[in-house]
Structure 1
Amino acid sequence: MSVDFKETRAMLLRRQSSVFAVEGVEGAERQPEACMQLFDIDLAKLGHALSQRLRARLQTLATPVLTALQEHIWKTLAAQLGANREHTPLFRRFPDNIPSNTHALWVDRVLTHFMQAPGQPCVHCGRSGTTHVLKPCQHVVCDACFDGANYSACPICHRHADRDSPFFLPAPALERGTATGPLKLLDLGESMDDAAQVLVRAMCERRQAMSPVDTDDFKTLAGEYRLRLLAWIPDQIPVRENIALLFGTLLKHCEPAAVLAAAGPHIGTATDVIRLVAVYSGADPSLQGQVVYRQVPVAKARGMARFKTLFTPGSYWNKQASLPLPVTIKRFKMARLGRPLRRALLALLESLHPDSLTEDMLRHRSYWVWLGEFLHPQEYHKRYPKVAFAFSVVRKKGPDGTPGPQFETFYAGLEKAVMRKDAIAMVALLRKRPGELARRFDHALSLAAGDSAAGSAVLDAFARCAPQFATPVLLTLRALLPTRLHAGERRIYWPKGSVATGFMAPDQRPPLPQETVNQAVALIERELLARFSSKPPVGDWLIDAALADIMVPFNERTASRSAIQLPRGSVLPVPAGKKARLFLHWCQPENGGRSDLDLSVAFYDEQWRLRGVCSYYQLTCKGSDGSIIATSAGDLTDAPFPDGASEFVDLDCELARQNGVRYAVAVLNNYSGMPFEDLEHAFAGLMFRDDVQGAHFDPRTVALRFDLAGSNGVFLPMVFDLRENQLHWLDLYAPGGFEFNNVATSTAAISAVCPAMIAYFASSIRMSMYHLALLHGAARAQRVILRGDGTLRALSRHEGEDNASFLARLRKWNPQDVDSAPVMHEAPLFAALLDADITLPENSIVYALRPGVSAATIAASDLIS
């Protein structure tokens, strides 16, 4: 079957701004300049432009080929920004003609709903012949009381209605507003296969679970290149989930025997096998469970302590027959497992050590009990006896129904040592599993506090196992340990899940000794420098000082799918003089139910006291001087397929600051209906605009665009710090209620979670991209150039200087050592940039958070592999 690699082309365009176009037939007529100018105009509407060599190549293509490629480029870029959807808010003249008295408007809507009848005079103005019955909601509205040129949906229920009704008048066409700023450059790609090969290898070498965007792209490459991909993969794939993603995807498209033969050397545990089956079945290889909603009778829910606050006198829930309670199940819909495939999977399991096989299966017991229903291991108990024994332990019974054998796991022994507070026994066990030692190193040090022998044993084990630790764990410990010198107020945990739900608790850990921390940090830095120095060296290493506010990615599995891969906890400057416009768009499935999402902004003062809100129940938020600091475009209560619905909120940061507002929190609520993840699509984002007139959605001004995921609840994506002119990216979900979530019901959580998260990331407990880039520069470069405040400074490595000494000088930037006017060489360099707004030598390696005249060639995660 032929493959056109359409998805791979789109993915490389999104990731690297590369367009792959073969050269046209020699001697053929070139495309006229007018044809290219029209495409330039269309691209400029999306904030992009063609490089000269790409433009020249496109002009050599035949008209049908060029047209198809232009359409492909435009659709890919438009989808990345959200410009491929209709964006018509409830009030079509937004930001003008927004009702200033939301309560009075609500009263009018209620009276109309209950009292207005067809053919009768209007209950508000008393006029006759001015009412219209809207379909399908059947509300009777008066065109003298409600402006049909301003509304896009029913003014009473805010649901989409038949726009052929005489009530809806044409609205003036909206011109595109002004937008200043550089265009992002698209360049000609040399070889798509070479680019794909580099990307596959980089993803395979990742040392942490990939983000949803990277996961989708990895599966795209495996699905389109198929068995050709096997020649590109490295000998070692460190992350077990990535092994499953690769070979599980290949299993869907290729002959199982060939795939499993290639997968065999990479599969070392039983969990690898079940992850492989999960991906093959279309499930998540993280094995974190699937959330489903089951109706539970209200009488039963009343007896559950966690829901006692719902059933107050007069509560809405007292009148319901049942509640939709979320339940996590540890199983997935199994793909068809043919007999040859079942035997091959059993053979893989049989090849593992029997003790590790059984223990590994017990870690995910529910999944193995479920998989056993399809593998039928007892049919082959003579051929695969170790597998049959492991299943008897997992099922707690043998083939004859007798009780299964007892088995003590590694973790049971470890917990016993912890309960005894025996740090030496704990470390003796952890040395067998270096990954666990790294993750529990802080705990082991705390357990050994006050016992010099135990402390020495922990540090000795750490030093011996350091070469086996994953780089992301080492980076985490390098940032964490210096903060452990003093007692903290609270700890923040990041539980495994599909979305980020940071959990806070009082920090009861004793501080660690200064000497212990210093020794551990020195060991970590020595190991990191050794690892990075083994990578290809470079002459010049260019670093943006602004990367000090960008976090090294962590817990990427829970990151939102986003056009710009901004790591959680990062801080961006808010452009001066710009207006902020937040947007939300969602669409219900074609055959699904109704869903109502809401976009709001909550305003808080310095002490996180609520000062105001802009939401569906308060369309405009006014400051103490009467000025309007935020305006909502209205609340649509459904999003029918295929056009969906959009909501906007305009925020004037300067006016809000002048009116005593310190923090503005963007809040996305699931008010009612289906979970975020069950919608056809749902995304939100932020524009920084020169003006707020013109088209409601302008892709040229999109600064952030991210998908919504997870179940019902509240999403807190970002916080504006108006005093500092900064944007804090939190990317955090809160559970919320079953329905009726809004700022009023969430303000307690907002005022607790947001300041805690901002303080957490400001404490340097997570490493920044700037400090990671310094580590790489010290290990790999002869000269490091720092860009900041519009100037360049450089430090060169001394003759014979070791990496640790060079790193120490880079952290100080002593003016006596610095070249304040460095000359940029023409040779390829490595650049770590916030904005790729500088032209770099050809073949340079570039990490850039936001692409510009240069395109990113690597991701942030590639720097921690």
Structure 2
Amino acid sequence: MAQNLESLVIRHTHRIPSPQGSAGEGATATRQFDAALTTVGFKLSAELLERLSGLSEAAVVHTARRTLRTVSEMVGDHVRHNAYFIDFPANVPDTEEFWMRCVTKALGDDASRESVLTRLKHGTLDLLSLPSYGRYQHTYEEMLAAQDELIASAGDRVTVLHLGRDPEEELTDLYLSLAGSRTPLGEDHRHDLKTLAERCALGPQPESIPVRENRALVNEARLAVGADLLLDTVTDVLRLACALSGGDVTLHEPTRFRALSRPVRRGLLAGLDAVVAANPAKLADVHAHREPFKRLGERLHPHEYPRWPHAADVFAVARGEKTARSFDSRVEELLDAYDVTGALKLLKSAPGRLFRALDLLMRIAADQEERDAVVAAAAEVAPGVSGRVVLSVREHFHNREEETDAPRIFVNRRGRAWVARDHRPPIPAADRDRLIAALDAEVRRRLQVPDRLLLDPDVLDVALPLSGRATAAGLGVLPRGSVSEVDGELLRFFVYWKQSEERTDYDLSALLLHDDYTTDSWLSYTALTAVGGVHSGDVTEAPDGASEFIDLSLDRVRSTFIVPQVNIYAGEGFEEVEESFFGFMLRGGEQKGRPFEPRTVRMKSDLRGTGRVALPLVFRRGDDGGWRAKWLHLYLKGISAANRVEENQVSVSKAVRALVEREQLTVGYLIDLMSRGTTVTELWDGGPVPDGPVTYIGLERPEGLHPDSRVITLENLRDVIPG
């Protein structure tokens, strides 16, 4: 199996495909492999240790090299993490003292003295003009030599790698899981699906591909091998054309369509023609994407293919030459007239559209009779709505309190967030509760209730992954809104970035807030020290990559909230740099070690968003003094340059408050619905597991589960969403 395909399996499943090779005495090499894994926070399962030990030494070394490369990248240890202050977190100076030290060095430098003096005479100081500011003053090797070795702790992270099956089986199952996902995938997972689809297009296929973006990627692979396309709307064809042009299959960003070969053009036009011929009403779907359809028509030349007249009608509608009244326009006409009865009658033919209009229908209902009709209609059509939408609407109404004018957060597909006051009229509590009860009943009806459930208690507060876009790619990353315990004494944030072309300056900062979300203090390049914390120093360019760190002693922090953030001060955005990621480590009070120690990393997530201020998560002190993290995965717009924690503290605190005070549906919600059935539920405490098959739901897979067990962990948590 090629390295990149094996890496896909390890990243998505934490399994190593069954290692291949001749039999031999590989026990010694296997122990060395396991020891090397331990330094980056991983270990081999007992079953995998046994399997590798029976192979030749060469086979073990081959597996070890490929695996270590993959897991090092998973945890962020594939790059060199240097710190500006060589012995960070020790001996970090006060900000003013440090700046004066840089000025003194600049005045002693013949090359910079004159320019610095000129600026000082005018009462200004440009830190970037100081030779010793913002650029590493020591090598990575010198930094390592100045640091103590990390003393291993029982609290260090250990991620177990399990023995997988035959490589082809692993790849096929991973393809089926991603292609058949009931929730939209994140960008990285879509990229992986594209890779797998190219390999698996002629093999086993999922029973259904409910997510349209996934279908476009599968269709791209099927078109390449001459297989039948999976099309039932004209928009499916548009998404496929975007995939063929390397564009955005979500249709959120415009795609520049490439010149297409004649066979591909014929395939797309034939697909369009078949869809419209089977149901001419599908022409109305063109209105939602008129401009992309017009541009696609310029590439497909439908006039050259008169045998497909229905395909030509698609582009005639896009150009306004043919009329096709859209379903949405008919719905909007009825809603604008406050005709709830008429709107319900029409919307029953489109259950998903009705569910998305429920809040508005409840608000504009004239009386109790109409509100009763809305609740009844929702219960009637619920079986025809996807599980993801049912749960999303359920979560929406759970947070739809009778009181209004509270902060309301909006998050788009790319994680960009903004906050506004909620001025919507309230919905009567009794009606809302009846609607919630109907939705709960529908979710309970769909759940696959196992005979025996083994449950990791730590998974109960994990938010349901209703969209892959609400979770960044990385290690130990939970969906937006999830809550997790923080079990260390020292909390260390880190950011790494490597610029592509222009000078790029990212600033790691931490905003400390009181319990009313007002500012207590902050840590950043303008405030290197604060109560309980220190900053590693400002690095202002990253041609070879750069890292910044913040260290916090949790028992000394007096604030209620800790909000780490990454500000783009100058240069390339998060989606333009060669690489960028954020994470945090937890250490015991006595653990020293280097600034970056992979075995202490609890979370590492890629930074990929369209805003200029990244908010990965927030830490909150509880009434018992303990700390918990709530996952944000948000990006604020910020300004084009010079974003600083001091300037965005108001917008950051508003976003944090809106999401902290919003309640997400969690795995615990689904477990509660399951427990009302006949399920036998056992809590796993980290010890031995049951002998027989179980359904296990937890953060990581335990060792020793029966081979017939169904296992759901963070890597495939989307599988808990009912269909």
TM over 0.5: yes
**Structure 1 residue 825, shift from structure 2 partner:** 4.5
**Structure 1 residue 204, shift from structure 2 partner:** 3.3
Aligned: 1:584 with 2:579: no
**Structure 1 residue 714, shift from structure 2 partner:** 0.6
* Contact 2:464 2:721 survives alignment (8 Å): no
1:308-350 CA distances to partner (integer Å, 9 max, x unpaired)?
xxxxxxxxxxxxxxxxxxxxxx2x2334410111011111111
Aligned: 1:394 with 2:318: yes
Change (3 A) 1:530 1:605: closer
* Contact 2:414 2:610 survives alignment (8 Å): no
Q: 2:367 aligns with which of 418, 439, 450?
A: 450
**Structure 1 residue 601, shift from structure 2 partner:** 0.8
- Separation (CA, whole Å) in 2 of partners of 1:442 and 1:276: 33
Secondary structure at the aligned position of 1:109 is classed as helix
**Structure 1 residue 774, shift from structure 2 partner:** 3.1
Match of residue 702 from structure 1: 601
Change (3 A) 1:376 1:585: same
Equivalent AA in structure 2 for residue 863 of structure 1:
I
Change (3 A) 1:496 1:369: farther
* Contact 2:695 2:710 survives alignment (8 Å): yes
Aligned: 1:155 with 2:132: yes
Q: 2:237 aligns with which of 273, 298, 308?
A: 273
Aligned: 1:594 with 2:488: no
Equivalent AA in structure 1 for residue 428 of structure 2:
L
Match of residue 6 from structure 1: 3
**Structure 1 residue 554, shift from structure 2 partner:** 2.8
- Separation (CA, whole Å) in 1 of partners of 2:422 and 2:521: 30
**Structure 1 residue 363, shift from structure 2 partner:** 0.6
* Contact 2:462 2:479 survives alignment (8 Å): yes
Match of residue 575 from structure 1: 487
- Separation (CA, whole Å) in 2 of partners of 1:243 and 1:226: 14
* Contact 2:7 2:67 survives alignment (8 Å): yes
* Contact 1:713 1:738 survives alignment (8 Å): yes
Match of residue 626 from structure 1: none
* Contact 1:596 1:637 survives alignment (8 Å): yes
Secondary structure at the aligned position of 1:412 is classed as helix
Equivalent AA in structure 2 for residue 283 of structure 1:
G
- Separation (CA, whole Å) in 2 of partners of 1:395 and 1:122: 61
Secondary structure at the aligned position of 1:42 is classed as helix
Secondary structure at the aligned position of 2:548 is classed as strand
- Separation (CA, whole Å) in 1 of partners of 2:294 and 2:686: 62
Change (3 A) 1:565 1:843: farther
Equivalent AA in structure 1 for residue 167 of structure 2:
M
Match of residue 312 from structure 1: none
- Separation (CA, whole Å) in 1 of partners of 2:324 and 2:205: 41
- Separation (CA, whole Å) in 2 of partners of 1:351 and 1:81: 48
* Contact 2:515 2:560 survives alignment (8 Å): yes
Aligned: 1:487 with 2:403: yes
Change (3 A) 1:205 1:499: same
Change (3 A) 1:525 1:720: closer
- Separation (CA, whole Å) in 2 of partners of 1:272 and 1:359: 14
Match of residue 420 from structure 2: 504
**Structure 1 residue 288, shift from structure 2 partner:** 0.6
Change (3 A) 1:443 1:348: same
Match of residue 632 from structure 1: 535
Match of residue 241 from structure 1: 213
1:685-714 CA distances to partner (integer Å, 9 max, x unpaired)?
000012452221111111111011123511
Change (3 A) 1:696 1:597: same
Change (3 A) 1:837 1:201: closer
- Separation (CA, whole Å) in 2 of partners of 1:138 and 1:474: 53
- Separation (CA, whole Å) in 1 of partners of 2:244 and 2:635: 29
Equivalent AA in structure 2 for residue 584 of structure 1:
V
Match of residue 148 from structure 1: none
- Separation (CA, whole Å) in 1 of partners of 2:396 and 2:59: 54
Query: For residues 84-95 of structure 1, what are the structure 2 equivalents within 5 Å?
Result: 84-95=78-89
**Structure 1 residue 542, shift from structure 2 partner:** 2.2
Match of residue 68 from structure 1: 62
Aligned: 1:666 with 2:579: no
- Separation (CA, whole Å) in 2 of partners of 1:173 and 1:719: 29
**Structure 1 residue 114, shift from structure 2 partner:** 7.2
Q: Output the TM-score relative to the length of structure 1.
A: 0.76
Secondary structure at the aligned position of 2:209 is classed as coil
Secondary structure at the aligned position of 1:772 is classed as helix
- Separation (CA, whole Å) in 2 of partners of 1:74 and 1:482: 45
**Structure 1 residue 179, shift from structure 2 partner:** 3.0
Secondary structure at the aligned position of 1:669 is classed as strand
- Separation (CA, whole Å) in 2 of partners of 1:355 and 1:474: 29
**Structure 1 residue 213, shift from structure 2 partner:** 4.0
Match of residue 603 from structure 1: 512
Change (3 A) 1:247 1:6: farther
* Contact 2:14 2:162 survives alignment (8 Å): yes
Aligned sequence identity (%):
27
Q: 2:390 aligns with which of 474, 499, 503?
A: 474
Change (3 A) 1:408 1:671: same
Change (3 A) 1:491 1:435: farther
Equivalent AA in structure 1 for residue 189 of structure 2:
D
* Contact 1:201 1:233 survives alignment (8 Å): yes
Q: 2:440 aligns with which of 525, 530, 544?
A: 525
Change (3 A) 1:391 1:203: same
* Contact 1:212 1:559 survives alignment (8 Å): no
- Separation (CA, whole Å) in 1 of partners of 2:60 and 2:670: 42
**Structure 1 residue 275, shift from structure 2 partner:** 0.8
Count residues in correspondence: 706
Q: 1:647 aligns with which of 526, 545, 548?
A: 548
Match of residue 123 from structure 2: none
Q: 1:688 aligns with which of 586, 599, 618?
A: 586
Equivalent AA in structure 2 for residue 280 of structure 1:
L
- Separation (CA, whole Å) in 1 of partners of 2:393 and 2:128: 62
Secondary structure at the aligned position of 1:488 is classed as coil
Aligned: 1:783 with 2:684: no
Q: 1:341 aligns with which of 259, 264, 284?
A: 264
- Separation (CA, whole Å) in 2 of partners of 1:443 and 1:620: 50
1:741-771 CA distances to partner (integer Å, 9 max, x unpaired)?
011110110222211210113xxxx311111
Secondary structure at the aligned position of 1:859 is classed as helix
**Structure 1 residue 836, shift from structure 2 partner:** 4.8
Change (3 A) 1:197 1:841: same
Secondary structure at the aligned position of 2:162 is classed as strand
**Structure 1 residue 118, shift from structure 2 partner:** 4.5
Match of residue 20 from structure 1: 17
Q: 1:30 aligns with which of 25, 28, 36?
A: 25
Change (3 A) 1:363 1:114: farther
1:402-450 CA distances to partner (integer Å, 9 max, x unpaired)?
xx24443221221111111111111122112111011112221222251
Match of residue 859 from structure 1: 717
Match of residue 384 from structure 1: 308
Q: 60-69 or 563-572, which moves further after superposition?
A: 60-69
Q: 1:208 aligns with which of 176, 183, 193?
A: 183
Equivalent AA in structure 2 for residue 155 of structure 1:
S
Change (3 A) 1:110 1:430: farther
Match of residue 669 from structure 2: 771
Q: 83-92 or 426-435, which moves further after superposition?
A: 426-435
Query: Structure 1: any 5+ residue segments left out of the alignment?
Result: 125-136, 141-153, 290-329, 397-403, 623-628, 793-822, 850-855
Q: 593-602 or 823-832, which moves further after superposition?
A: 823-832
**Structure 1 residue 567, shift from structure 2 partner:** 0.8
Secondary structure at the aligned position of 1:179 is classed as coil
**Structure 1 residue 648, shift from structure 2 partner:** 0.5
Query: For residues 724-739 of structure 1, what are the structure 2 equivalents within 5 Å?
Result: 724-739=626-641
1:633-662 CA distances to partner (integer Å, 9 max, x unpaired)?
11111111xx401110001111013xxx11
* Contact 1:423 1:448 survives alignment (8 Å): yes
Match of residue 285 from structure 2: 360
Change (3 A) 1:337 1:484: same
Match of residue 557 from structure 1: 469
Q: 1:54 aligns with which of 48, 51, 67?
A: 48
Change (3 A) 1:54 1:109: same
Q: 2:694 aligns with which of 817, 820, 829?
A: 829
Match of residue 374 from structure 1: 299
Equivalent AA in structure 1 for residue 442 of structure 2:
E
- Separation (CA, whole Å) in 2 of partners of 1:345 and 1:119: 63
Match of residue 172 from structure 1: 146
C-alpha RMSD of the superposition:
3.0
- Separation (CA, whole Å) in 2 of partners of 1:840 and 1:170: 41
Secondary structure at the aligned position of 1:760 is classed as coil
